[in-house]
A and B are shown apart, each in its own frame.
Chain A
Amino acid sequence: MLEIENLSVEVGGRRILKNINLKVESGYTNVLFGPNGAGKSALLMTIMGFSGYNIVEGNIYFKGEDITDLPLNERASKGLGIMTQRPPNMVGVKLRDLLEVTAGEKVNIDALVHELNMDSFLDRDINVGFSGGEIKRSELLQLAAQEPSLYLLDEPESGVDLVNISQIGGMIRKLLHGEMKCAGKRRKEGHSGLIITHTGQIMDYVEADKGYILCNGTIMCSGNPRELLGEIKEHGYGECIKCKVKQS
């Protein structure tokens, strides 16, 4: 589904991602761990194609196609969808109007709106005066309408209270895995995801297949996501850096 090869990225003239290699197989949900400032958000923004993230080296392949130089709307129409960490206040742009333009033909918007308790938000300007949880719900509603094949989710649990978390986590699970319980079937037929998580909380809701640890703009480690999370919880990220030093 997604393959990143030897990617290096500069922001404002500063190199913040170095030689990234990362893969999300079709139907897999991979998670990305890392301390604050590691470059996790920058990586997702680069994959989506936002301006300001200058690729100085490497390539991004999506469904086998090199998308390194595609504008972001073309990436979106190929099936990439993102929930950013801090979306802008879209003054004047009503949630309803955007959904009307972006929703796929077969999408039942009303049902989604209802499921995410967004009925009273349809005629509001997107993100303007929304709480943390409301922003996430609105982003998920937009993503669900858009029906991407790869979901890029930047810390979906951050800034969200407990009630919202279960709703948001449940929705993400549904979008990624549908009703499928069997891992084999899920990987064959489910959607793919790359989820940034600081706390690992989202893993209470979705089945994560593979984990990556990003530190100082470099992938330090990858493997079983639960084991990685356990290590991080026990030793922090300091151990990863040591570990990487040992490996190289």
Chain B
Amino acid sequence: MQSKTELKKKALNALEKRSEYGEDFDLSEFKVTSGGPEAIQNLEELDEDTKKLLLSAGIVPSGKGRLGTLLMTDNTVSHSSVTDKNIELTSTRKALQKYDWLKDYYWKIVPVDADKYTASSYLENADGYFIRAPAGKKSSIPVQTCLMLGAKNVSQTVHNIVIVEEDAQLDIITGCATKKEVEKAIHLGISEMYVKKGATLNFTMIHNWSEQIGVRPRTVVHVEEGGTFINNYICLRPVKSVQTYPTVKLEGKGAFARMNTVAVAHPGSELDLGSRVIFNSPGTKAELISRTITTGGKVIARGEMIGNADKAKGHLECHGLVLSSKGMQRAIPILEANVEDIELSHEAAVGKIAREKVEYLMARGLTEDQSVGMIIRGFLDVGIKGLPEELESDINETINKIGSSSV
């Protein structure tokens, strides 16, 4: 076990360490806030704009159809409530005070010195959400958490810990949003997730930042024997720069991971989105699916599968649509086999929508706009369930806009 002083030393040494990927941000341009907004008892009492903002990030202010709700604004957890007492949902700091054992999960799978963003998050003692589903607790209603940027030039540092105990099943929707008045800000998010034996974690993240926001999530997921981790990442709105490369370690026999990425790079957006699975146990399986569109921004879709154990099986699919000649799509699939009995494959394709497909629909009477819209909708539909209606209609609106502007 690493001592606090060791961790601190590592973090201090890594404060200037650039990330391997993505634009480098000068963190001194941003400030970490303290104190911040008052505790909010009831999210329905928020102003209409903020409530809309929450909805468009998949967060239901009333908490209806949710197991629990947590809101973090800038660097402060301002709301946390549960409708099911069996689920633990609180701020990471509170949880660390409450449970001594939690230190065994804290900075355990995300290294503090991965880069300046992890180092800074450590040194700022970032708060975030702690969610734990006790053994055997199965629920299909999600817990919702929202990370919101509210102050100018803020550096939001977040540290989340999720634990799904043996045979439990947990759904989480995390929505990220930016208040209108925030022009420039950065979000650094550490997430350490643990899926125990036979457990399932269904994690959906909706990024709904804005034009001038830099985003650097750092996520590692540890999956034990027979466990399942499903990740849905959705980013359809403009953002300045997102660079993320969540890594799933399949550490027990038969563990399974699926990671879906659905994103649109608008003009001025730079999305460097990866998914990585490391097969460390026999018979582990994974599917990585990335569907990205550029309407003028830059997309780098990375996918990586590293096979270290026999009978591991994985497939990686990277599809990128280019809807504007100002846009850029780069697909980088990486497959690595370190043992003999392994089956890893990938398919990658980038390009425009095939004319033949648009005309197929037009021959049925659809206009060109409608045809492109239908194809785009299908392209982005990877079957993510349980999103609130408001978000669904928001997604539809975005797709329609993309469709008609690309014709």
Give A residues with C-beta under 8 Å from B.
Answer: 48-51, 71-73, 76-77, 81-82, 84, 87-88, 90-94, 97-98, 101-102, 125, 142, 146
* Residue contact A88 to B356, C-beta cutoff 8 Å: yes
Closest 7 CB pairs of A and B: A92-B378, A76-B365, A73-B362, A93-B378, A102-B364, A72-B362, A88-B356
Chain B residue at minimal CB-CB distance from A148: B365
Q: In the bound complex, how far is the Cα of B362 from the Cα of A142, in angstroms?
A: 13
What are 15 A-B contacts with C-beta separation under 8 Å? A48-B363, A50-B359, A72-B363, A73-B363, A76-B365, A82-B363, A84-B360, A84-B363, A90-B378, A92-B378, A92-B381, A93-B375, A102-B364, A102-B365, A142-B364
Q: In the bound complex, how far is the Cα of B362 from the Cα of A76, in angstroms?
A: 8
* Residue contact B357 to A88, C-beta cutoff 8 Å: yes
Does B308 touch A at the CB level, under 8 Å? Answer: no
Q: In the bound complex, how far is the Cα of B377 from the Cα of A90, in angstroms?
A: 12
Q: In the bound complex, how far is the Cα of B362 from the Cα of A51, in angstroms?
A: 11
Chain B residue at minimal CB-CB distance from A86: B356
With A97-B374, A101-B374 given, is the CB distance from A90 to B365 under 8 Å? no
Contact partner of B360 among A71, A88, A125, CB < 8 A? A88
Does B140 touch A at the CB level, under 8 Å? Answer: no
CB distance from A43 to the nearest CB of B (A): 15
Per-position 1/0 for B350-381, Cβ under 8 A of A: 00001111011111111110110011011111
CB distance from A124 to the nearest CB of B (A): 12
* Residue contact A101 to B378, C-beta cutoff 8 Å: no
Chain B residue at minimal CB-CB distance from A77: B365
Contact partner of B359 among A51, A91, A98, A142, CB < 8 A? A51
Chain B residue at minimal CB-CB distance from A73: B362
Which residues of A are found within 8 Å of B359, using beta-carbon distances?
50-51, 72
Q: In the bound complex, how far is the Cα of B258 from the Cα of A81, in angstroms?
A: 41
Q: In the bound complex, how far is the Cα of B380 from the Cα of A72, in angstroms?
A: 26
* Residue contact A93 to B363, C-beta cutoff 8 Å: no
Contact partner of B379 among A77, A87, A92, A142, CB < 8 A? A92
CB distance from B347 to the nearest CB of A (A): 12
Which residues of A are found within 8 Å of B371, using beta-carbon distances?
73
- If A81-B363, A88-B357 are given as contacts, then 18 extra A-B residue pairs at C-beta distance below 8 Å, sorted by A number, are A49-B363, A71-B362, A71-B368, A72-B359, A73-B367, A73-B371, A76-B363, A76-B364, A84-B360, A84-B363, A88-B354, A90-B360, A90-B375, A93-B361, A93-B375, A102-B364, A102-B366, A146-B365
With A73-B362, A73-B363 given, is the CB distance from A98 to B374 under 8 Å? yes
Q: In the bound complex, how far is the Cα of B366 from the Cα of A62, in angstroms?
A: 19
Chain B residue at minimal CB-CB distance from A52: B355
Which residues of B are found within 8 Å of A49, using beta-carbon distances?
363
Which residues of A are found within 8 Å of B379, using beta-carbon distances?
91-92
Chain B residue at minimal CB-CB distance from A89: B357
Which residues of B are found within 8 Å of A94, using beta-carbon distances?
378
Q: In the bound complex, how far is the Cα of B364 from the Cα of A227, in angstroms?
A: 34
- Counting chain B CB atoms within 10 Å of each CB, the highest count among A51, A73, A90, A101 belongs to A73
CB distance from B374 to the nearest CB of A (A): 6
Chain B residue at minimal CB-CB distance from A79: B365
Q: In the bound complex, how far is the Cα of B353 from the Cα of A91, in angstroms?
A: 11
Q: In the bound complex, how far is the Cα of B354 from the Cα of A51, in angstroms?
A: 12
* Residue contact A125 to B366, C-beta cutoff 8 Å: no
Which residues of B are found within 8 Å of A142, using beta-carbon distances?
364
Chain B residue at minimal CB-CB distance from A78: B365
Q: In the bound complex, how far is the Cα of B360 from the Cα of A49, in angstroms?
A: 11
Q: In the bound complex, how far is the Cα of B366 from the Cα of A82, in angstroms?
A: 14
Among B368-405, those with CB < 8 Å from A are 368, 370-371, 374-375, 377-381
CB distance from B202 to the nearest CB of A (A): 21
Chain A residue at minimal CB-CB distance from B379: A92
Which residues of A are found within 8 Å of B361, using beta-carbon distances?
90, 93, 98
CB distance from B278 to the nearest CB of A (A): 29
